[in-house]
Amino acid sequence: MPGRIPAMLGSFALLLSAIAVAGPLYPPAGLDMSAADTATHPGDDFFQFSNGAWLDRTTIPADKPFYTEAQRVRDETEARLRDIIDAAAAGATHQPDTLVGKVGAFHKAFMNDERRETQGLRPLQSQLAAIRGSKTREQLAALMGKSMAGFGGGLFAINIDADLKNTSRYAVYLSQSGLSLPDRDYYLKADFAREKAGLRDYAARLLALAHWPAPQANANAILSLESRIAEASWTKAQQRDLPKTYNPYTPAKLQAFAPGFAWAEFLSGAGLAGKQRVIVAEQSAFPQLAQIFADTNLDTLRAWAAYMTLDSAAPYLDRGFADARFAFRDQMLLGIKQRGERWKEGIKAVSGGDCLAGGACFGTLDWAVGQLYAERYFPAATKASIQALVADVMAAYRKRIEHLDWMGPETRVEALRKLDTYVVKVGYPDKPRDYSKVIVRDDDVTGNVERAAAADWQFLVNRSDGPVDTSDWSMTPQTMDAYNGSLRDIVFPAAILQAPYFDIGADPAVNYGSIGATIGHELTHGFDDEGRTLDASGALRDWWTAADAAAFKERAGTLGAQYATYEPVAGLHINPDMTMGENLADLGGLAIALDAYHASLHGALAPIIDGLSGDQRFFRAFAQSWRGKGRDDYIRQLTTSDPHSFRKFRVNGVVRNIDAWYDAFDIKPGDKLYVEPDKRARIW
């Protein structure tokens, strides 16, 4: 059962010795020994040294923007999901009432291409008619609110999560939205002229397919509108400042603060009429965005609403819409060469996880599929062993906090108190999601998506007035990722707990270097420049002293200065302000995991395996866990809009700041990654 890990679980290494398991993925160490580029010195490019041969022999599939070790594991997970979903589809009735039957019927509806072609645009006619019939801005604002539960979009997004000033209750959060391109920089920098032209052409194509009046002129107006929205929007770096994103308002006061938008109608459309408190994120942007809404003519707003509805629904419509979306969102923005196999799109449509082309991942039966996946593929032995590894990493982090030379006693007490509150959730949620009222039919793909999306949104709305459910998850078991949540929880879904990230039969050095570093990464998020603003109760309160904050900022600045020099693609450098939290977590996570690995040896020397010491296996496992390559368009999008640095720099940028790496690989002055000891970033 997820919860704080009890001390009786003991060391991960000891637990492994008591469990009889199958052999590791890459015997005998658990490493892919064929991956290394031994012609590269580890001190010049550790990522290349650890992965160069793998990079040389690996081709990015034509239907993907990148290929990584994580993607390989996703592919294996996808194959497992296919087995589950195909079996469900084989036995599904027209409108089933069982969980398995609904999964199967949903899949059958998505895969029925002939019906989709004959249906054409008919499934969206009522929504498009509502947009055409909107005579006022108030009506359009209501439709934007309604889009929270289905197709479409708007100027603002809504989320319902724990209130950061009263963590026992939920709150309604409002944030900026309205951009079709990945980031505001795509609209504001000349480097992205091609992508802006692509957006204009894509909007025109969708509107033309839907027989919307003056598609080209409206597409020009849509690009102009979104460009104004981008100018008013906050940057990703600004959004990292949690205290500045917590601004409570009553709807009436929000109307006075940002009078150009119909807030009451927007909230009512989202099913939140009567709410007397909302929390605004990008405060200074809201009046500007509301004024843009007020100044834009109704014809343009209607065309924009139609375009957003068509864009989000395109993967479920006939081939013309789906191909248009793929050409823009996948080919142009990500550099993907061709559509993936149809069955893969079908699996994603039902199970969520990695989204459909361009990010359409709402309106799925993701939690239902996750329940079926965990039942079949996540054994109890795996859950117990990963809980023990988490306990080791948490113990190592505690010792680090206790001995940090830059943290004063007052802050240290608060940090340890917060660490004690952390809940670890492994594999799958305790409570299954209820799908009993969701209607699924095997001949109605768009209806299935809309009803599933509405059920997901209603789940959030229904609980918005109640106490916070601390057992909640926001990532499904089949998702190949992990996260640090608002409930002071770290969550490791079943899909990420498989080789090579975690292999119960592998050498402990490999497990600590891969999943152990991920566990440490997620832990440190609760204590970094954002985590410092949330205390042991989860409330928004800065629990650091001014002196400790200054010391942390100086040390983080050392790491930021290093990352600012990295250039993932020619002419585009990493933004250290946007990526700071993830870079700090990568560094801290690896350092903590190394301590946990050393502690698991209980004073004994690590064995030499495959000619490698324990520390060498640990660092190479870390580098192998991040191996991957991407198309230039994908890397540009990642570097512009994502808080994570590209993979090569998540390895090289971290190891060069850890003393033990220098000892393990005999790194000397003159090596390209060498950093003088007094200039290394030392934080956690």
Q: Is the pLDDT of residue 488 over 90?
A: no
- The dihedral over CA atoms of 307, 313, 316, 318, expressed in degrees to the nearest 10, equals -20
Which tens digits make up the pLDDT trace of 128-138?
999 999 999 99
Burial class from Cβ neighbours inside 10 Å (0-12, 13-18, 19+) for residue 398 reads: middle
Average pLDDT, the chain: 92
* Domain spanning 7-19+40-76+367-431+471-679: CATH 3.40.390.10: yes
Mean of the pLDDT values across residues 226-251? Answer: 96
Q: Is the pLDDT of residue 181 over 50?
A: yes
Q: List the one residue out of 306, 307, 296, 269 whose CA is nearest residue 132.
A: 306
User: Which pLDDT value is given to residue 354?
Assistant: 52
Which residue is listed with tokens 């505001």? Answer: 184
Mean of the pLDDT values across residues 452-464? Answer: 96
Is residue 1 very low, low, confident or very high in pLDDT (cuts 50, 70, 90)?
A: very low
- The dihedral over CA atoms of 233, 236, 237, 242, expressed in degrees to the nearest 10, equals 90
Q: Is the pLDDT of residue 295 over 50?
A: yes
Mean of the pLDDT values across residues 651-663? Answer: 98
Which tens digits make up the pLDDT trace of 325-367?
999 999 999 999 999 899 999 999 999 855 443 444 678 999 9
Which tens digits make up the pLDDT trace of 360-377?
467 899 999 999 999 999
User: Which pLDDT value is given to residue 16?
Assistant: 36
Which residue intervals of the chain bear CATH 3.40.390.10?
A: 7-19+40-76+367-431+471-679
CB 168 within 8 A of CB 273: no
> Who contacts 554 (Cβ-Cβ below 8 Å, separation ≥6)?
none
Strand partners, 198: none
User: Which pLDDT value is given to residue 424?
Assistant: 87
CB 362 within 8 A of CB 456: yes
CB 54 within 8 A of CB 34: yes
Which residue intervals of the chain bear CATH 1.10.1380.10?
A: 119-339
In the DSSP assignment, the letter for residue 155 is S
Strand partners, 512: none
User: Which pLDDT value is given to residue 524?
Assistant: 95
CB 673 within 8 A of CB 43: yes
User: Which pLDDT value is given to residue 29?
Assistant: 61
User: Which pLDDT value is given to residue 380?
Assistant: 83
Mean of the pLDDT values across residues 200-211? Answer: 98
How many residues in the chain?
684
CB 654 within 8 A of CB 370: no
Between residues 26 and 86, the one the model is more confident about: 86
User: Which pLDDT value is given to residue 353?
Assistant: 59
CB 371 within 8 A of CB 432: yes
Strand partners, 467: 169
**CA–CA dist 98, 264 (Å, integer):** 38
Which residue is listed with tokens 């108190």? Answer: 417
Q: List the one residue out of 152, 108, 155 whose CA is nearest residue 126.
A: 152
State the pTM of this model: 0.89
User: Which pLDDT value is given to residue 382?
Assistant: 84
Q: Order of strands across the sheet with 278-280? A: 156-163, 166-176, 278-280, 247-249
User: Which pLDDT value is given to residue 18?
Assistant: 32
Q: Is the pLDDT of residue 443 over 90?
A: yes
Q: List the one residue out of 131, 187, 473, 163 whose CA is nearest residue 307.
A: 131
Mean of the pLDDT values across residues 75-88? Answer: 96
Token pair, residue 471, equals 């057992």
Alpha helix ranges (H) inside 236-365: 236-239, 251-257, 263-269, 285-295, 298-313, 319-325, 333-334, 342-351
Chain centre to alpha carbon of residue 289: 26
Which tens digits make up the pLDDT trace of 597-638?
999 999 999 999 999 999 999 999 999 999 999 999 999 999
Phi then psi for 133, rounded to 5 degrees? -85, 0
Mean of the pLDDT values across residues 23-27? Answer: 45
**pLDDT above 70 covers what percent of the chain?**
94
In the DSSP assignment, the letter for residue 3 is B
Token pair, residue 173, equals 């959060």
User: Which pLDDT value is given to residue 503?
Assistant: 87
Between residues 438 and 503, the one the model is more confident about: 438
Q: Is the pLDDT of residue 65 over 70?
A: yes
Pairing of strands 66-68, 166-176: unpaired
In the DSSP assignment, the letter for residue 478 is T
Which tens digits make up the pLDDT trace of 493-539?
999 998 889 988 889 999 999 999 999 999 999 998 889 999 999 89
Token pair, residue 13, equals 């290494």
Phi then psi for 127, rounded to 5 degrees? -70, -45
User: Which pLDDT value is given to residue 361?
Assistant: 60
Q: Is the pLDDT of residue 541 over 80?
A: yes
Token pair, residue 411, equals 């802050």
Which tens digits make up the pLDDT trace of 562-598?
999 999 999 999 999 999 999 999 999 999 999 999 9
User: Which pLDDT value is given to residue 529?
Assistant: 85
DSSP 356-419: SGGG---S--HHHHHHHHHHHH--HHHHHHHHHHHHHHHHHHHHHHHH-SSS-HHHHHHHHHHH
Pairing of strands 628-630, 489-493: unpaired
In the DSSP assignment, the letter for residue 553 is H
**CA–CA dist 475, 472 (Å, integer):** 9
- The domain made up of 119-339 has a fold known as Neutral endopeptidase; domain 2 (1.10.1380)
Chain centre to alpha carbon of residue 380: 26
Angle formed at CA 620 by CA 615 and CA 624, multiple of 5 degrees = 150
Token pair, residue 401, equals 């906090």
